[in-house]
Amino acid sequence: MGGERRSEYVFKGEGEEISLDDVYAAREIVSKHAKRTPVFTNETISSLAERELSFKMEVFQKTGSFKIRGALNAIFSLSDEEAANGVVTHSSGNHAQATALAAKLRGIPAYIVVPENAPKVKVKAIRGYGGQITFCGLTMQDREDACNKIQSEKGCTFVAPFNQKETICGQATIGLELMEQTDCGLDAIVVPISGGGMTSGIAIAAKSLNPNIKIIAAEPRGVNDAADVHKSKCAGELQVDAAKPKTLADGLQAKMGNLTWAVVKELVDDVIVVSEEEIVQAMQLIYERMKVVVEPSAAVGVAATLSEEMRQKFDKSEYRNVGVILCGGNADFSAVGFWDAWTKRWKSFAS
Amino acid sequence: MGGERRSEYVFKGEGEEISLDDVYAAREIVSKHAKRTPVFTNETISSLAERELSFKMEVFQKTGSFKIRGALNAIFSLSDEEAANGVVTHSSGNHAQATALAAKLRGIPAYIVVPENAPKVKVKAIRGYGGQITFCGLTMQDREDACNKIQSEKGCTFVAPFNQKETICGQATIGLELMEQTDCGLDAIVVPISGGGMTSGIAIAAKSLNPNIKIIAAEPRGVNDAADVHKSKCAGELQVDAAKPKTLADGLQAKMGNLTWAVVKELVDDVIVVSEEEIVQAMQLIYERMKVVVEPSAAVGVAATLSEEMRQKFDKSEYRNVGVILCGGNADFSAVGFWDAWTKRWKSFAS
């Protein structure tokens, strides 16, 4: 079993140390409440990539994305005293649902700050997991102000979506599982990147178990050419003023924090940037050939794996076995009129 | 293991005998080339149904539907002499793809008769599996004439989509696997029905292993109220003149044959009929909560399981553990403009 092999590697930076032991400790917590998601293969997509692909199916994870892992580790790492007053975070996406459910599982309140223009379906999902919602304005400052206010009123703890050791170690359990499920036989792992929590965690876990494995971050270019991870890696320093990508991959619009950037800078080998067109093409392959629902953010990893850039940079015989993280399945079908289209279709039969 | 328990039950009718031994023999063939698909559970849908549901994931089967099982058993049961000249069938749907692939696996030609109005995407899929296509007119007579012509020209063998012992035994392997995967613990199995091959096969396998299990067929009403299986069961005889349902469930528009009807008459306990609206609602649950792509025909089983009729007829404490067959994932996304909608969406970000 790959999981038995330990290294002495410890990530050190920004005042934190993260080791494989931290990831094993996170797994103790995460495995109690989250799923050990399966690894799928797919002949068609592997043949298009001319590699052997192993897909880590976080789409089937509780709440529909990997985010529950980090939220569980952060929330169950709190002392009873800290936990008693609940937790707070700001997000309208997968991290909000994850925080709400993880808090519910610990039996404490979750206060979720949500921008007032958030889709109703997402608000409903957060409430469905027991989250208590506070609406705020649209800027990051509005979000942080609302969080701070709740923290001082309730005495609750902020759960960071990515830039926190516990969150990173929670997401790292994806890497641990994938390495075990593939007997440490992967040559590279392709991970969609946003704030960098999942990428950092997987990089630490995977490189601890196999220092030669390549970690490739996959990032959307956005219609405004705003791939800030790629730009940061090229510049060798975090591009804090970079614009947010306007992209279908709405889960990949955060910017890295100091801690995740420190890990990404040290452990990520390359960043492959994909277009919106490539994202839709990858979604089509995943839906039509794997029969799996992914959100656009999850298709970004597949798009990168199939890209010309991947082909050129990572020789297909040297990097033959490649892991790809299908990180979430919370696609907004209503936003593209999917259910209406089916309804319209059957009504047309009647006429 | 449930698979060890044997009964002496043998279906006899229409000049055929089908026993559990025939199903085990089919499995010898089917398991060499088809997947043993997993069984999924889903808390949300089980909770809505107020039962424990076990979903048999034939969406993940090769060619995207269960049909490969029957085609494999029919084609690999041929002698080398019979097989040498190839096989022929008429279908524009899942059976066509299945026949093409099964023939390719045996290394013989597959001649597929396809109505000239078949969607291009289906024609492309059949060709992708190596099928040689002949277009024909739109009536059943046109199809049969074209098949007969090819049979006499090529000396090849017709592969029936459902009304044939080998096909039924192939589909029956779904039931065998599901019974084993659930340790024979199911109280009922809900199966979408069309020509009745899958339903007959599952009924024979499941009732041989557990005579008390209920087999519930799920049928679309269609906008023209054309649920012919339901009507046949009520009348106690095959309604040969019944109209075909106009329904989103395009995989459920065939009519039973004499052999499948004989099995359905004897072994199917009930037929639950669902509306188009219920089909779309069930699809939405499966896509959004299970993160799995199903075609409308596969959603019919889930719709029936969640229906008021199911609730009334099958007490939820007596029929607690229910298997549901998710029989196929070949949804036609292009027909509802899904990919265009995503493309339109990202283009709107640029403006």
Which pLDDT score, from 0 to 100, does residue B6 have?
Answer: 60
Minimum Cα–Cα distance from B289: chain A residue: A64
Task: State pLDDT tens for residues B132-145.
Answer: 999 999 888 999 99
The amino acid that residue A4 corresponds to is E
- Say whether B293 and A291 touch across the interface (CB within 8 A): yes
How much of chain A, in percent, has pLDDT values that exceed 90? 89
Q: What is the pLDDT of residues B222-271, one digit of tens each?
A: 999 999 999 999 999 999 887 889 999 999 999 999 999 999 999 999 99
Element (H, E) at B53: strand B52-57
Nearest to A292 among B222, B293, B343 (CB): B293
Q: Does B308 touch chain A (CB under 8 A)?
A: no
Q: Which of A324-333, B7-16, B45-54 has the lowest mean pLDDT?
A: B7-16
- Predicted local confidence at residue A77, as pLDDT: 98
| Cβ atoms of A288 and B333 closer than 8 Å | yes
- Topology at the third CATH level for domain A2-65+164-331: Rossmann fold (3.40.50)
- Identical fold for domains A2-65+164-331 and A67-158, yes or no, is yes
pLDDT of residue A6: 61
The first and second tokens of residue B25, run together, are 């023999």
Comparing CB atoms, the residue among B224, B288, B336 nearest residue A345 is B336
Q: Is A349 on the interface with B (CB under 8 A)?
A: yes
pLDDT at A67 (0 to 100): 98
Q: Are B239 and B232 in contact (CB under 8 A)?
A: yes
Contacts B291 to A, Cβ<8 Å: 59-60, 64, 292-294, 329
- The answer to whether the CB atoms of B336 and A336 lie below 8 A apart is no
Q: Which of A81, A62, A79 is nearest to A70 (CA)?
A: A62
Q: Compare A6 and A196 and report the one with higher pLDDT.
A: A196
What fold, for B2-65+164-334? Rossmann fold (3.40.50)
The answer to whether A67 is a known catalytic residue is: yes
Q: Which of B246, B288, B341 is closest, CB to CB, to A337?
A: B341
Residues from chain A that touch B277, judged by Cβ atoms under 8 A, are: 343, 346
Per residue in A290-316, pLDDT (tens digit) is 999 999 999 999 999 999 999 999 999
**pLDDT value at residue A243:** 85
* Residue of chain B whose alpha carbon sits nearest to that of A338: B338
Contact at CB, A287 and B333, closer than 8 angstroms: yes
Residue-averaged pLDDT of chain B: 95
> How far apart (Å, rounded) are the C-alpha atoms in residues B35 and B60?
8
Instruction: pLDDT band for B2, please (50, 70, 90 cuts).
Output: very low
B 205-244 residues inside an 8 A Cβ radius of A: 222-224
What is the overall mean pLDDT for chain A? 95
Q: Which residues pair with B53 in a beta bridge?
A: B322
Mean pLDDT, rounded, for B50-69: 97
Q: Minimal Cα distance from B350: which residue of A? A: A223
- In chain A, which residue's Cα lies nearest the Cα of B351? A223
> What is the average per-residue pLDDT within A154-173?
97
B278, B291, B330, best to mutate vs chain A, most A CBs in 10 Å: B291
B200 min Cα distance to partner chain A (Å): 26
**Interface touch A287/B277, C-beta < 8 Å:** no
Cβ <8 Å between A342 and B64: no
Task: Please name which of A57, A90, A70 lies closest in space to residue A27, comparing C-alpha atoms.
Answer: A70
ipTM of the complex: 0.95
pLDDT score recorded for residue A244 = 85
Q: Give the Cβ contact number of residue A340 at 10 Å.
A: 13
- Least-confidence region, from A143-147, B118-122, B157-161: B118-122
pLDDT at A15 over 50: yes
Instruction: Show which of residues 22-51 on chain A sit within 8 Å of chain B, judged by CB atoms.
Output: 38
Q: Tell me whether residues A293 and B293 touch, CB distance under 8 A.
A: yes
Instruction: Tell me which DSSP letter residue B160 carries.
Output: -
User: CA of B338: which chain A residue's CA is closest?
Assistant: A338
Asked if B345 lies within 8 A of A284 by C-beta distance, the reply is: no
Mean pLDDT value of segment A200-228: 96
B342 and A280 within 8 Å at the Cβ level: the answer is yes
Pick the range with the lowest mean pLDDT from A118-127, A192-201, B298-307.
A118-127
- Return the pLDDT at B316: 97
Higher pLDDT residue, B268 or A141? B268
Question: Which of A223, A246, A293 is the closest to B291 by Cβ?
Answer: A293
pLDDT at A320 over 90: yes
Q: Which pLDDT value is given to residue A138?
A: 85
Quick one: average pLDDT of B314-318? 97
> With contacts defined as CB-CB under 8 Å, which chain B residues touch A343?
277, 280
d(CA A45, CA A281): 12
Domain boundaries, chain A: 2-65+164-331, 67-158
B284 touching A (Cβ < 8 Å): yes
Find the CB nearest B346 among A276, A339, A346. Answer: A276
> Given this model, what pLDDT does residue B1 score?
41
What pLDDT is stored for residue B7 in this prediction? Answer: 73
SS3 sequence of chain A: CHHHCCCCCEEEECCEEEEHHHHHHHHHHHHHHCCCCCEECCHHHHHHHCCEEEEEEHHHCHHHECHHHHHHHHHHCCCHHHHHCCEEEECCCHHHHHHHHHHHHHCCCEEEEEECCCCHHHHHHHHHCCCEEEEECCCHHHHHHHHHHHHHHHCCEECCCCCCHHHHHHHHHHHHHHHHHCCCCCCEEEEECCCCHHHHHHHHHHHHHCCCCEEEEEEECCCCCCCHHHHHHHHCCCCCCCCCCCCCCHHHCCCCCHHHHHHHHHHCCEEEEECHHHHHHHHHHHHHHHCECCCHHHHHHHHHHCCHHHHHHCCCCCCCEEEEEECECCCCCHHHCHHHHHHHHHHHHHC
Task: Find the range with the poorest average confidence among A96-105, A270-279, B133-142, B286-295.
Answer: B133-142
In this predicted structure, the answer to whether residue A4 has a pLDDT above a threshold of 70 is no
- Give pLDDT, residue A195: 95
pLDDT reading at A2 higher than 60 = no
A35 is catalytic: no
Within 8 A of B101 by CB-CB distance, chain A residues are: none
Give the per-residue pLDDT at A348: 95
Residue A3 vs residue B67, higher pLDDT: B67
What is the average pLDDT across B175-179? 98
| Residues in chain B closer than 8 A to A339 (CB atoms) | 280, 283-284
Residues written for chain A: 351
pLDDT in tens, A24-70: 999 999 999 999 999 999 999 999 999 999 999 999 999 999 999 99
For A349, the closest chain B residue by CA position comes to: B246
pLDDT-derived band at B4, boundaries 50, 70, 90: low
Tell whether the model's pLDDT for residue A196 goes beyond 60: yes
Of B56, B62, B67, B214, the catalytic one is: B67
Q: Give the tens place of pLDDT for each residue, B178-210.
A: 999 999 999 999 999 999 999 999 999 999 999
Fold of the B67-158 domain: Rossmann fold (3.40.50)
Helix (H) or strand (E) holding B11: strand B10-13
